[in-house]
Structure 1
Amino acid sequence: MILCHLALSTFLFNLVASSQSSTVNLGYARYQGQALPDGITQWLGIRYAAAPVGPLRFSAPQDPETVEGVQDASQHGPLCIPTGEYPAPAGTSEDCLFLDLYVPSAARNATKLPVFVWIQGGGFNQNSSPNYNGTGLIKASEMAILVVTFNYRVGPYGFLSGAEVSKGGSVNNGLKDQIKVLKWVKTHISKFGGDPNHVVIGGDSAGAASITLLLSAYGGEDQGLFHAAAAESQSFGPVWTIDQSQFAYNNLVIRTGCASDPDTLACLRSLDTASIQRVNINTPLPSAQTPPLYMYGPVVDGDLVPDYTYRLFQQGKFIKVPVIFGDDTDEGTIFVPKNTSTVGEADTFIQSQFPNIRFDHLAKLNHWYLSENQTRQFPDSKPYWRPTSNAYGEIRYICPGIYLSSVFASAGVNSWNYHYAVEDPAAEASGEGVSHTVEENAIWGPQYVSGTPPASYFTSNAPIVPVMQGYWTSFIKFFDPNPHRYLGSPEWKTWGDGKDYRRIFIQTNNTAMETVPMAQRERCDYWTSIGTDLSQ
C-alpha cells in the first residue's frame, strides 16, 4: 500500500513538473504545451496576433489581446480561408493567426538553440502545406534546433489592394503577418530555449516567394529578424501596383452588393465571412483571357514592397545573408491543364498567368518549348501539357532561383543551389515527374507532412530523407549545409563566383554536383532579362 502511494505521489509530482516546464508566460497569455515521450515538447495554436476580423479585416496585424488563465496548446489553430472554395472549408477561419512550436524537451532558457521558421506555400491564396511537424528535423539535428510553423492570411483577406484599402486599411497584410511572426520570435523564442540571434527562415513555393520578398523588404533594410534563408521553388509571379490591383477590389465590392455604399471598405468589413467567401473567386487579370492560377498576391506598395522583385535584386537592395535556392526537375506539371492540346492553348495559359507577355516573348517560348518534336504523350493528357509545363516551370520557378544564386554569389554572400531530381515510379509514369515542392517530403520526413507523400519515400526513396535532412539541419545550425551533412553525402559546393553555376543534383543514391546546362542558362538569361516586363 505504501509503495502504491509512493508510486502515485511520484507520478503526480512528475505530472505537475511536466506541466510547469511546458507552461510558458508570453506576457499576454500563458500557454501549456505537451511534453511527448520522444523528447519533443510541442505548443500548438499559439496566437501571435489579434483576430483580424471586424474593423481589423484588411488591416495590418495587431498585438494579441491579453487573456487570463493558462491556455491549452494541444491543438492546431484554424487555417486561413482560401480563395475559390465556398462554403469555407472545415477547419478554416478568418481568426487564423496562430503558430506552432516544436522544441527539444531538454531546451531551457539558457540553451539558445538555432531556430527554423517555416513559411508554407499556397500561391498566396491558400495555406497549402499547413501543420507540418518539426519532430523529424529536430531529431535529424540531434535535438539541437527549434521549429516554428504558422498560418498567414491569403486571398483577399491577406492581399486585397486598391486605393480604398491603402487609405483605410493596409495592403500586403499576408506578408505583414509573416513579419509579425518573426518579431514574435525575436521577442519570445528565448522563453522556449531558442536563440533570437540565430533564426533561419525556410519556405516552399509562395513561402519561398515570401522569402525573396522578405530579403528585399523595405529595399533590403535588415531589421535583424533572420540570419539565413532556404527557399524551395522560389516563385516569381507577377506583382502588380496598388493601382493595377484596383480591379480586384472593385469586382469584390460589386459582387458583394457594396457598390452603392458611400464607404465601400466599411461595407466589406461589415459583411459576415460567408458573404465574402461566396464571391471569393478567381477572375481573369486585366488583358488576360482566362482566370490565373492565383489571383491575389503581394503588390508594389512603395514601402514593404518598393518595386518588382527582379529589379530590387538587380539594384542590390536585399539583405545579405547565407541562402539556399533550388527547384525540382518538373516544376510546372501540377499547374498546367493536362488537356493542353495546341500551341494556342499553351500560349493562352501562359498569358493568363503573365498578362503583360508580348508576342515576341511568346515567339521565343514557342521556339524553345513548343515545337512538335517536344510534345510528349502521357496517360490522361494531351501532347502540349508537358512542354507548356517546362516553360511555366522555368519562367516562374527555376530561372528565378538560378538568377538569385548568381546575385548573392556576385555580392560575395555564400549561396547554394539545388536541382532536386528524386524520381518516384508512379509520378514518372503519370508524367508529373519530379513535381513542384515534392522535396518537402524528404526535408521534413514523409511521416511529418500534412499531405500524402509519394509511396516510394517509405521504400526505394527512403535513403534520400536523411541526406536532405542532413543538409537542411546543417544549414539551420551553421548557415552552411555541409558541417552536419549525412555521413557519405557529397560536399554541397557554393554556386561559385557568379560564373560557375554549380548546383547539387539530388537523386537517391546518385547525389553529386553538376553545372547548369548551357541551354538552360541561355533560356534563363532571357527570362531574367524580361522579368520586369512580366511584372516579376
Structure 2
Amino acid sequence: MHGMMTSKAELGREVRTQAGRVRGTLRDASGVLAFKGIPYAAPPLGPLRWHSPQPPARWAGVRDALVFGAGCLSSLENDHRPGPRHEDCLYLNVWTAARYADEKHPVMVWIHGGGFQFGSSANPATDGGTLAANGVVVVSFNYRLGIFGFLAHPDLDAEAPSGNYGLQDQLAALRWVRTNIADFGGDPDNITLFGESAGAMAVGILMASPLAHGLFHKAIGQSGAFWDGRHGPLQSFDEARARGVAFARQQGDGSIAALRDLPADRLNAAAPWSFKTSPVVGAFSPSIDHHVVPDVPARRFLRGEQMRIPLLTGWNAAEEFPFMAQALPHPSADAFLAAADAMFGRERMVDFRKLYPAATDAEATISAAALTGDIVIGEQCWQWLRLHRRTQHAPVYGYLFSYTSPYTPIASHVTEIPFVFGTLTPQQVIGSMTPPAEEDLALARTMMDYWVNFAAHGDPNGPGLPPWPHYDESDVVQIIGTTIEARPNPQGERFRFLDGFRQDGVLPVRWREVG
C-alpha cells in the first residue's frame, strides 16, 4: 500500500510518490535533502488551460528532482526575476532533514506572494533548506497567475466553476502534500499553511473555504489578509466574468475555444499588470466564485464559518515602502486632507489629523503612504486576528515586525521573509548589498524558532525565547524589533479609527482614494 514503509526505513535521495519515484540531492552538510520540480498536477495546456488542476501522469523509473520547475507566466510588466517561466508550471519542492521516513516531522507549506500576478517558488529568499534543518519538512509550489489563473467567462461556467484556477492549484498542492508527505518524513496530520502578501491572503481565503477543510491544521499569514473585497484583488464573480468576456472579445471571436488556441505569450502580453497602475488590484485575480470562495472572507469569519485552527499573523512597520511608492501619489497637504474629508467626513477630521498629520506636503506624503499601508495590509491583518479570536476561540498570536539594521534599513513589505527562512545574504528581496551582522543572524534564529514551534505545537513559545502571549482584547502584539517584547499595538489607535467605518465587515474606502 502506498505510503507504508517498514519501521526505521532510512530516507534516501530517492523517494516514492503516488505518481512515481523522485531523486533529490543532499543540500549541504546539514543533512537536508532537497527535491525540486516535482509535478503535483498535469501541465495546464491545451484543453486544460482554464481547467481545474488534474492529477499528474505517472512515470516509470526515477525522475530527477534536482532543479526548480519553470515558474508560472508573470503578468508583471518588465519582470526581470531569474528563472524560466512557462504555462507548464505546476511544480512543487520539498526540503526535509528527516533521517527516517516514519519520523513525522511537522510540515510547513509556503504560498509565495506577488499580488496573484507574479512570483514563484524559486525565490532564493524562500529556499526551505535552513528552515527544514530546524526540524520541519518545508514545501513550496507554483500556482497559475494573472490571466491563466483567474479568468472567468460564461463558456467556462458551462464546463465547471470558473475563475479561481490559481486557488484551485493551491488546493491541489495541499492534497498532494496530504497524500505524499509521509514518504518524506512529514506528518500529514500536522500541516501549517504559511504565506506572505498575496500568499497570506490565500491562507486567509482558504481558511474560509469549505474546499480546504482538513487540508491544513495551522495558519501563518505575513503581511496580507484577504478581507472585504475592496482592498485586495478580490472581486465579484459578475465583475470577473465581465472582464473575461471583454478580454475574449478583444482577442478574437469572444469564445474560450478561440482563446485556448492562442499562444500563451500573446495572451500574457495582452493582459499586462503594473505597480504603477495597480499595486494591489489586478484585472485577473481571485473572485467570489461561490465555489472556492463562497463569500467575502471577512463575512465568513464574522459568522464563524472559517476553520477553527491556531493562527499567527502580523504586519511590518512600514508596509507601504518600497513597492507602493511606485504607485502612490505625492499629494499636497490640501489635496490629501480634502480626499480624507470626502472619505471619512468632516466630523472625524480632528481625529484623522492626529493620526495622519498633514501640516506640510512632505508630511502629507508620509501620511498618505501610512494610510495606504494601513488600509491594504496592516488593518486587514489586525481584523484577521480579532475576528478569528472572537468567533472561533482558537489560539491566536499577533506580531509587528519593526526590525531595522544596516542590513535591513527599513521594515518594509517582504523584509521579514529572509529572517523567517534563515536566508540572510546580501539579498534580492530589498536590494541590500550589506552582509548580515551577528544581530541579524540572531534574529533569524529566533524567528525560525518561533515559526517552527508554532508549526509543531500551535504555540510559538519555547525555551530561551521572549514570551509571546495569546492575542486578546488588550491588543498586545509581539514587537519583533531590535528588542523583542509583547506590547500594546503601536498602530492600534489608527486601526480602531478605520474599524469605525466598517459595514458588515467591509471598509467602504478604496485605497486609491487616499491621495
TM-score band w.r.t. shorter chain: 0.7 to 0.9
1:501 and 1:64 map into 2 onto residues whose CA distance is 46
Q: 2:332 aligns with which of 342, 346, 349?
A: 342
Instruction: Tell me the residue number matched to 1:393.
Output: 373
Does 2:252 match 1:275? no
Q: 2:436 aligns with which of 455, 458, 473?
A: 458
2:18 and 2:212 map into 1 onto residues whose CA distance is 27
Instruction: Tell me the residue number matched to 2:174.
Output: 182
1:419 and 1:123 map into 2 onto residues whose CA distance is 21
Contact preservation (8 Å) 1:217, 1:306: yes
Contact preservation (8 Å) 2:332, 2:361: no
1:402 and 1:78 map into 2 onto residues whose CA distance is 35
Counterpart of 1:156 in 2: which secondary structure? helix
TM-score (norm: length of structure 2): 0.85
TM-score (norm: length of structure 1): 0.82
Q: Kindly tell me: are residues 130 and 157 of structure 1, through their superposed partners in 2, closer, same or farther at Cα, counting changes over 3 Å?
A: same
Aligned length: 482
Q: 1:416 aligns with which of 397, 406, 415?
A: 397
Amino acid at match of 1:94: E
Instruction: Tell me the residue number matched to 2:131.
Output: 137
Q: 1:490 aligns with which of 448, 466, 475?
A: 466
Shift of residue 359, structure 1, vs aligned partner = 3.8
Q: Kindly tell me: are residues 344 and 81 of structure 1, through their superposed partners in 2, closer, same or farther at Cα, counting changes over 3 Å?
A: farther
Query: Could you tell which deviates more after superposition, 413-422 or 165-174?
Result: 165-174
Counterpart of 1:461 in 2: which secondary structure? helix
Contact preservation (8 Å) 2:98, 2:184: no
Counterpart of 2:359 in 1: which secondary structure? helix
Shift of residue 209, structure 1, vs aligned partner = 0.2
Shift of residue 370, structure 1, vs aligned partner = 5.6
Amino acid at match of 2:416: E
Shift of residue 149, structure 1, vs aligned partner = 0.7
Q: Kindly tell me: are residues 457 and 214 of structure 1, through their superposed partners in 2, closer, same or farther at Cα, counting changes over 3 Å?
A: farther
1:146 and 1:409 map into 2 onto residues whose CA distance is 28
The percent identity for this pair of structures is 26
Amino acid at match of 1:422: Y
Counterpart of 1:209 in 2: which secondary structure? helix
Contact preservation (8 Å) 2:320, 2:373: yes
Instruction: Tell me the residue number matched to 1:354.
Output: none
Contact preservation (8 Å) 2:474, 2:488: yes
Shift of residue 47, structure 1, vs aligned partner = 0.3
Amino acid at match of 1:272: P
Instruction: Tell me the residue number matched to 2:474.
Output: 500
Q: 2:493 aligns with which of 505, 510, 519?
A: 519
Instruction: Tell me the residue number matched to 2:149.
Output: 158
Shift of residue 66, structure 1, vs aligned partner = 1.7
Alignment of 1:40-51 (within 5 A): 40-51=32-43
Counterpart of 1:441 in 2: which secondary structure? helix
Q: 1:119 aligns with which of 103, 111, 117?
A: 111
Counterpart of 1:21 in 2: which secondary structure? coil
Alignment of 1:310-321 (within 5 A): 310-321=298-309
1:87 and 1:111 map into 2 onto residues whose CA distance is 41
Structure 2: state its 5+ residue gaps: 1-8, 227-231, 511-515
Alignment of 1:131-530 (within 5 A): 131=123, 132-139=126-133, 141=134, 144-168=135-159, 170-218=162-210, 223-236=213-226, 237-256=232-251, 258=252, 260=253, 264-282=255-273, 291=278, 293-295=280-282, 296-333=284-321, 334-336=323-325, 337=327, 340-342=330-332, 359-361=342-344, 367-368=352-353, 371-373=357-359, 375-376=361-362, 384-410=364-390, 411-425=392-406, 428=409, 433-447=410-424, 451=429, 454-455=432-433, 458-459=436-437, 460-483=439-462, 487=464, 489-496=465-472, 499-508=473-482, 510-517=483-490, 519-526=493-500, 528-529=502-503
Contact preservation (8 Å) 2:331, 2:361: no
Shift of residue 152, structure 1, vs aligned partner = 0.6
Instruction: Tell me the residue number matched to 2:97.
Output: 104
2:189 and 2:121 map into 1 onto residues whose CA distance is 27
2:505 and 2:67 map into 1 onto residues whose CA distance is 42
Contact preservation (8 Å) 2:454, 2:461: yes
Contact preservation (8 Å) 1:442, 1:457: no
Shift of residue 81, structure 1, vs aligned partner = 0.8
Contact preservation (8 Å) 2:91, 2:142: yes
Counterpart of 1:326 in 2: which secondary structure? strand
Q: Kindly tell me: are residues 322 and 124 of structure 1, through their superposed partners in 2, closer, same or farther at Cα, counting changes over 3 Å?
A: same
Q: Kindly tell me: are residues 222 and 129 of structure 1, through their superposed partners in 2, closer, same or farther at Cα, counting changes over 3 Å?
A: closer
Instruction: Tell me the residue number matched to 1:14.
Output: none
Shift of residue 524, structure 1, vs aligned partner = 3.9
In terms of Rg, which structure is larger?
A: 1
Amino acid at match of 2:486: M
Structure 1: state its 5+ residue gaps: 1-17, 351-356, 377-382
Amino acid at match of 1:415: V
Contact preservation (8 Å) 1:82, 1:88: no
Q: Kindly tell me: are residues 491 and 241 of structure 1, through their superposed partners in 2, closer, same or farther at Cα, counting changes over 3 Å?
A: same
2:337 and 2:74 map into 1 onto residues whose CA distance is 27
Instruction: Tell me the residue number matched to 1:72.
Output: 64
Contact preservation (8 Å) 1:308, 1:535: no
Amino acid at match of 2:306: F
Shift of residue 84, structure 1, vs aligned partner = 3.6
